[in-house]
Amino acid sequence: MLTRFIAWRYAQARSGSQLLGFISRLSMAGLIIAVTLLITVLSVMNGFEHELRTRILRVVPAITLYPKDGDIDHWEDKALTVLMNKRITAASPLIEAQGLLVMGTAAEPVLLFATDPEAESRLSHFEEFTDTSSWQNWRADPQSVLISKKVATKLGLAAGSTAVVMLPGSGAEQAEPSILSLHVAGLYETGTEIDNHLVLAQLPLLQGYYKIDGVSAIRFTLDNWLDANEVAWELIETLPRGYYLKTWFQTHGNLYQAIQMSRQMVVLMLTLIIVIAAFNVVCSLVLVVADKRGDIAILRAMGVPNRRIMHIFMLHGLLIGATGTMIGAISGCVLAWAMPFIAEGLQGLLGVRFLSTDVYPVNYLPSDLRVMDVGLVVAAALLISAVASLYPAWRATRVQPADILRHE
């Protein structure tokens, strides 16, 4: 009890040199800034990872099955075979076609993504990226398409208008491109790089164009998207010859690795800032020990053991560390929550867009605050503060009361 009281009194004392007060405040400010930034940056990195999983990887599936030659007939039977793996949750057919969306003199390269509406709804929940009427209109008309708001803005298209798509020839006898007039059932917006090129169509549209009954691929989603490579190896052993698999790691794995690497580098740099702030705690406590040598000598003369004296200065250091860490944690949580709104407000105020899907995977700044990350940052900061307090506390036990009291 006495130990805590003295440590608290030292922390609250207003006397002493100005340098001592400045270094104490500086060390606390360093901890506040480092903890705030670390929590905020971790939340932003978590946000990018979350958006990769919930938006991009919904449309870009975990695993895609392709035939080595020809098409896949009776795709439902093949899908049922693969769905016997308990970690695979849904399947959807796919026919792809690269084309050019034309409106007047403007044109945009696009990827026609023809699928089955019912299966697509189970696999990607694509209807969440558009309004209900657009989704229903698209489902009701097999010759209609959904295009992104970004592409529609560039070409001056809107829901209900007619889009002209130029597709390459569908056979050796038809080398010249074909032109299709398609009804735009509605617009979608995922807020990701998918908005740059994807046009969602239905199977009959491209099956009729290519004069086929089958599909070119089957897409699958998993309960845990990080298991894609492992599940793919399991499927290779069970599938007959003539098929091969691609996972999302092959198409978007670089993006995921870049997010993880950036996260690790930022955590390392900000942890170093915490260590530097902890070094200021060391300097502050060393000055406190020098300033309180008379008090230490009196305590030693009264028979207070070295262990108690160490506790006083360790608690003093922990009090500085805990105060800075708690303020930093609170401000970090608030800033992490507010970051998307701050970024959006600055974009509107300055009239510029910081994130564009031409460069970044999403066009907004995501944030995903996690309690575990906050807890780890707080624990790490407190641990570093405790370790930083050891040396000054040990120095306090080296004070010789006879020498100090002789000069008092």
Cβ atoms 182, 142 nearer than 8 A: no
pLDDT, average across residues 265-270: 80
Please tell me the predicted confidence (pLDDT) of residue 267. Answer: 79
Domain count, the chain: 2
Are residues 340 and 302 located together in one domain of the fold?
A: yes
The confidence band for 15, taking pLDDT boundaries of 50, 70 and 90, is very low
Nearest residue to 144 (alpha-carbon basis) of 154, 131, 134: 134
Yes or no: say if 375 and 325 are a contact pair by the CB < 8 Å rule. no
Specify if 60 maps to a domain. Answer: no
pTM: 0.68
* HSE-up of residue 355 (Cα within 13 Å, Cβ side): 15
- Does residue 219 sit within a domain? yes
Do 208 and 86 reside in the same domain of the chain? yes
Query: Are residues 351 and 205 located together in one domain of the fold?
Result: no
pLDDT attached to residue 342: 83
Q: Quick check: 346 pLDDT over 90? A: no
pLDDT, mean of residues 300-321: 73
Q: Which two tokens stand for residue 36?
A: 């705030």
More confidently predicted of 293 and 133:
133
Confidence of residue 312 (pLDDT cuts 50, 70, 90): confident
Task: Give me the pLDDT at residue 18, please.
Answer: 63
Least confident of 166-180, 214-228, 270-284: 166-180
Is 233 part of any domain? yes
Q: What percent of the chain has pLDDT over 90?
A: 6
Identify whether 12 is part of a domain.
yes
Least confident of 161-170, 178-187, 274-283: 274-283
Is 249 domain-assigned? no
- Mark whether 86 and 129 lie in a shared domain: yes
Nearest to 388 by CA among 317, 323, 322, 319: 317
Residue 270 belongs to a domain: yes
Find the mean pLDDT for residues 206-228: 86
For residue 6, the model assigns a pLDDT of 54
**Does residue 209 sit in the same domain as residue 261?**
no
399 and 262: one domain?
A: yes
Q: 92-142: per-residue pLDDT in tens?
A: 899 988 888 888 888 889 889 899 988 888 888 788 888 888 899 899 998
Which of 6-10, 144-148, 281-285, 288-292 has the largest mean confidence? Answer: 144-148
Q: Do 135 and 194 fall into the same domain?
A: yes
Residue 272: band (very low, low, confident or very high) from pLDDT cuts 50, 70, 90: confident
Is 60 exceeded by the pLDDT of residue 5?
A: no
Give the residue with greater pLDDT, 340 vs 202. 202
Tell whether the model's pLDDT for residue 221 goes beyond 90.
Answer: no
Last residue of a domain, one of 183, 214, 241: 241
pLDDT at 87: 86
Q: Is the pLDDT of residue 260 over 60?
A: yes
Domain boundary among 214, 241, 268: 241
Residues 353 and 392 in one domain: yes
Q: Is residue 61 part of a domain?
A: no
Could you tell me which residue, 127 or 294, shows the higher pLDDT?
127
Average pLDDT across the chain, whole number: 79
DSSP letter assigned to residue 174? B
pLDDT-derived band at 344, boundaries 50, 70, 90: confident
Range of the domain at 284: 2-55+256-406
Instruction: Give Cβ neighbours of residue 325 (< 8 Å, ≥ 6 apart).
Output: 31, 35, 378, 381, 382, 385
Q: Is the pLDDT of residue 233 over 80?
A: yes
Please, where are the H alpha helices in 211-247? 228-238
CA distance 52 to 148: 18
Strand partners, 199: 112, 147
| Beta bridge partners of residue 299, listed in sequence order | none
Is 118 in the same domain as 173?
A: yes
Whether 64 is in a domain gets the answer no
- Average pLDDT on 221-238 reads 84
> In this structure, are residues 328 and 380 in contact, taking their beta carbons and an 8 Å threshold?
no
The more confident residue out of 223 and 59 is: 223
Sign of CA dihedral 81, 87, 89, 93: negative
Question: Which one of 241, 273, 297 terminates a domain?
Answer: 241
In this structure, the answer to whether residues 219 and 276 fall within a common structural domain is no
The yes-or-no verdict on residue 371 having pLDDT over 50 is: yes
Instruction: Of 318, 326, 319, 329, give the one whose Cα is nearest residue 384.
Output: 318
Could you tell me if 216 and 79 lie in one domain?
A: yes
305: pLDDT strictly greater than 50 = yes
143 lies in the same domain as 275: no
Do 397 and 289 touch, CB atoms closer than 8 A? no
